[in-house]
Amino acid sequence: MDIVIVGAGPAGVTVAETLRELGYDAEITMLSKEPFPPYSPPLMADYLETSGKSKLIFWKGSDFAEKHDIRLKTGVEVVGISPSSKRIHLSDGGEIGYDKLVIASGSKMWIPLECRCGEAKGRVQYYNFKSLSAVSHLLKEVQKGANKAVVVGAGFIGMEIAITLRRIGLEVLVVEMQDRILPRMVSRETSRYLENIVRDLGIELLLNSRGVMLKGEEVAEELLLGDGRSIKGDLFIAATGVRPNVEFLKDSGIEVGRGISVNEYLETNIPDIYACGDVANVRDIVTGNAYPHAIYPEAIHQGKTVALNIMGYRKPYDGGLNMNSLYHFHLPLISEGAMVGEVEPDETLFYEDGSVMRKIDIKDEKILRFELVGDKKGIGFLHTLLVKRENVDRIKDRILLGKYNHAHLILETLSH
Cα 12 to chain centroid distance, Å, stands at 15
Residue 265 has pLDDT above 60, yes or no: yes
What is the mean predicted confidence (pLDDT) over 280-303?
95
What is the CATH T-level fold of the domain 3-108+243-310, as seen in this structure? FAD/NAD(P)-binding domain (3.50.50)
Residue 410 has pLDDT above 60, yes or no: no
Verdict on whether the full-model pTM lies above 0.75? yes
Say if residues 37 and 12 touch (Cβ distance below 8 Å). no
What is the mean predicted confidence (pLDDT) over 200-218?
92
Question: 121 falls in which pLDDT band (50, 70, 90)?
Answer: low
Whether 3-108+243-310 shares its CATH topology with 111-240 is answered: yes
Question: 115 falls in which pLDDT band (50, 70, 90)?
Answer: confident
Q: What does the domain layout of the chain look like in residue ranges?
A: 3-108+243-310, 111-240, 323-414
Q: Is 323 exposed, middle or buried (0-12, 13-18, 19+ CB in 10 A)?
A: middle
- Of 136, 39, 103, 37, residue with least CA distance to 245: 103
pLDDT tens-digit readout, 141-177:
999 999 999 999 999 889 999 999 999 999 999 999 9
Say if residues 132 and 154 touch (Cβ distance below 8 Å). no
The rounded distance, in Å, linking the Cα atoms of 300 and 118 is 41
Four-residue CA torsion sign, 110, 116, 121, 125:
negative
CATH number of 111-240: 3.50.50.60
Residue 411 has pLDDT above 70, yes or no: no
Residue 326 has pLDDT above 80, yes or no: no
Say if residues 13 and 303 touch (Cβ distance below 8 Å). yes
What is the mean predicted confidence (pLDDT) over 185-207?
91
Question: 397 falls in which pLDDT band (50, 70, 90)?
Answer: confident
What is the mean predicted confidence (pLDDT) over 292-316?
96
How does the average pLDDT of the chain come out, rounded?
A: 91
The rounded distance, in Å, linking the Cα atoms of 189 and 359 is 9
Question: 328 falls in which pLDDT band (50, 70, 90)?
Answer: low
Say if residues 259 and 246 touch (Cβ distance below 8 Å). yes
- What is the reported pLDDT for 329? 62
Domain 323-414 classified CATH 3.40.50.720? no
